[in-house]
Chains A and B, each alone.
Chain A
Amino acid sequence: MKRGQRNKAGTGTLIIMLALGLFLFVPLCQAAESVYPNRPIEIVVPSEPGAFGDLGPRILGQKVSEILGVPLVISNRPTASGAAGVEAVTRAKPDGYTILAAANAPVILVPLVNPQVSYTFRKLLPIAVFAYSSNVLVVRSDSPHKTMNDLVAFAKKNPGKLTYGSTGAAHISRISMELLKEAAGVDIVHVPYQGGGSLRAAILGGHVDLAPISIAPVLSLVKAGNLRVLVSFSENRLDELPDVPTAKEVGYPNSVLPTWLGYMAPLGTPRPIIDKWNQAIQKALSDPGVKSELEKVALTIDYKTPEVMTQVMEREERILSEWVKKGGLTRK
């Protein structure tokens, strides 16, 4: 093709492409005013896809999305134990289109143990808590420790001999264990692992003696007889494990710290939007399908209003910061 012809073809192509471009452009522009919500809402999840804190929002989100009438787009931001996700929401526009799928670890614990993190839970507006999950303390089924009392007695006689693994330094299950250690006055060596998977492999392989861990991934191992649960860090006995005493029952009530899931919004988000979310959440939670789905991933429904949520967060912050100060998780 000669130069001149090529340019002509080029202009023609250009026009077609611009037209195509505009055609794509127009549907993307939607009127910003009018009823909330009128476009997709971004849900920031401060954990990896498929992780514990991600499944809950996904399940509930499907129903809430139906109720609100717009898609909820999940954005996973697991960096820095979820701090990156939380920080992003604190900086987002308070127009109700960016919502945080909150859990107590990234929102309350991480700021206490990580000096680089600039927020506290007060930099966000609570919407509601919708579910929680309990942690338990497991041992291998062939372990000589049959009850909590056996364990504590052995540990007292043999300080520094037993080991426990954790899913990570800044995890709620680990804190429960440490609080229990303190209350019982025993010395058990901590071995950190990265993630529930490696911890499960370690306890099954007999590399650590104990493992405080979320109930969900170990339930089938317990039922199959590979693991035994000594105690559950919950207020009431778990439905799936009616024979297992709670930490409260065996005398360590302070170590009860469930992992809860909820939603939060940037400061300044208008009250009507928060209320609308609350209505949607309550309606979704009353759906039996949602209830059973959540239970399948070991989440128990537990709705808490924004005011109660604030109280819960304040209480947890107190317990956790006290413990951090005592030198439990030293950070500079």
Chain B
Amino acid sequence: MRGDQSKPSAAKRGIFPEFLGGLILALFGSLVIHESRKLALGDLRAPGPAFFPFLLGCLLTIVSLILLVGLSLGKVESKCGQWKGVHWQKVILSFASLLVYSLTLESIGYILGTFLLSGFLFFLMEKRGILLLFGVSVLVSLGFYVLFKQILFIQLPQGIIPF
């Protein structure tokens, strides 16, 4: 579009993540095709388990290739987000902590896990008043437990704390 011509370098910077996205999808599509080969394809009378995934894998690969071609021809607009000036490190940390939480939840139990997670997240967001955060974390983890498990009878994972 018109904007591109006045800022070619901005367009170039924006394009790379787009390329990456398209490439990832193309690779994923190929992966799907490959994996679905292991299952029975079947025929039109009785399509097998691999029927749909195979078609979808082809669709994914082909369309992402079209996307990549379109990008290099410059016809597809780039709507990427920014990377500068945003605290993406915080996001990575939040993501990692949440992942660890979800993987260990069954072993260490809801109360302990939630306490640790909420403490970490609060800390990540607001660095002062550590004692306050500690207290809030305790309150939140116990409070949610009581509210959801005891009062509303929603299931929460058990753990080493025996309740």
Q: CB within 8 Å of B: which residues of A?
A: 6-7, 10-11, 13-14, 17-18, 20-21, 24-25, 28-30, 32, 39, 73, 75
> Would you give the shortest CB distance from A202 to chain B, in whole angstroms?
19
Choice from A10, A21, A75 contacting B129 with Cβ under 8 Å: A10
> Would you give the shortest CB distance from A17 to chain B, in whole angstroms?
4
Contacting pair B139 A11 (CB below 8 A): no
The answer, yes or no, to whether B132 is at the interface (CB within 8 Å) is yes
Contacting pair A14 B146 (CB below 8 A): no
> Would you give the shortest CB distance from B118 to chain A, in whole angstroms?
13
Contacting pair B134 A14 (CB below 8 A): yes
1/0 per residue, CB under 8 A from A, across B123-163: the answer is 00000010110111011001101100000010100000011
Choice from A13, A25, A28 contacting B135 with Cβ under 8 Å: A13
Choice from A7, A20, A28, A30 contacting B139 with Cβ under 8 Å: A20
Contacting pair A28 B132 (CB below 8 A): no
Please name all residues of chain A whose beta carbon is closer than 8 Å to the beta carbon of B135 when the two chains form the complex.
Answer: 13-14, 17-18, 21
The verdict on A21 contacting B131 (CB below 8 Å), with A28-B163, A29-B163, A75-B155 known, is no
What are 14 A-B contacts with C-beta separation under 8 Å? A6-B129, A7-B129, A10-B129, A14-B134, A17-B138, A18-B138, A21-B139, A21-B142, A24-B143, A24-B146, A28-B145, A28-B163, A29-B163, A73-B153
Chain B, interface SS category: helix
Contacting pair A17 B136 (CB below 8 A): yes
Contacting pair B132 A13 (CB below 8 A): yes
With most chain A CB atoms within 10 A of its CB, the pick from B131, B135, B146, B155 is B135
> Would you give the shortest CB distance from B155 to chain A, in whole angstroms?
5
> Would you give the shortest CB distance from A90 to chain B, in whole angstroms?
15
User: How many residues of chain B have a CB within 8 Å of chain A?
Assistant: 16
CA distance A30 to B161 in the complex (A): 11
CA distance A27 to B53 in the complex (A): 52
Q: CB within 8 Å of A: which residues of B?
A: 129, 131-132, 134-136, 138-139, 142-143, 145-146, 153, 155, 162-163
Contacting pair B162 A32 (CB below 8 A): yes
CA distance A153 to B153 in the complex (A): 54
Which single residue of chain A is at the shortest CB-CB distance from B163? A28
With most chain B CB atoms within 10 A of its CB, the pick from A11, A13, A17, A39 is A17
Given known contacts A20-B139, A24-B143, A75-B155, what 10 new A-B pairs fall within 8 Å (CB)?
A7-B129, A10-B132, A14-B134, A17-B138, A17-B139, A18-B138, A21-B138, A25-B142, A30-B163, A32-B162
Please name all residues of chain B whose beta carbon is closer than 8 Å to the beta carbon of A13 when the two chains form the complex.
Answer: 132, 135
> Would you give the shortest CB distance from B2 to chain A, in whole angstroms?
52
Choice from A14, A21, A30 contacting B132 with Cβ under 8 Å: A14
> Would you give the shortest CB distance from A44 to chain B, in whole angstroms?
10
CA distance A284 to B49 in the complex (A): 46
Q: Name the 4 nearest CB pairs between A and B, nearest first.
A: A17-B135, A14-B135, A21-B138, A10-B132
CA distance A25 to B162 in the complex (A): 12
Please name all residues of chain A whose beta carbon is closer than 8 Å to the beta carbon of B153 when the two chains form the complex.
Answer: 73
CA distance A324 to B81 in the complex (A): 54
Which single residue of chain A is at the shortest CB-CB distance from B158? A42
Contacting pair B131 A10 (CB below 8 A): yes
> Would you give the shortest CB distance from A189 to chain B, in whole angstroms?
10
Contacting pair B142 A24 (CB below 8 A): yes
CA distance A56 to B146 in the complex (A): 28
Which single residue of chain B is at the shortest CB-CB distance from A14? B135
CA distance A300 to B15 in the complex (A): 67
CA distance A30 to B134 in the complex (A): 25
> Would you give the shortest CB distance from B127 to chain A, in whole angstroms?
14
CA distance A24 to B139 in the complex (A): 9
CA distance A25 to B153 in the complex (A): 18
Which single residue of chain A is at the shortest CB-CB distance from B141? A21
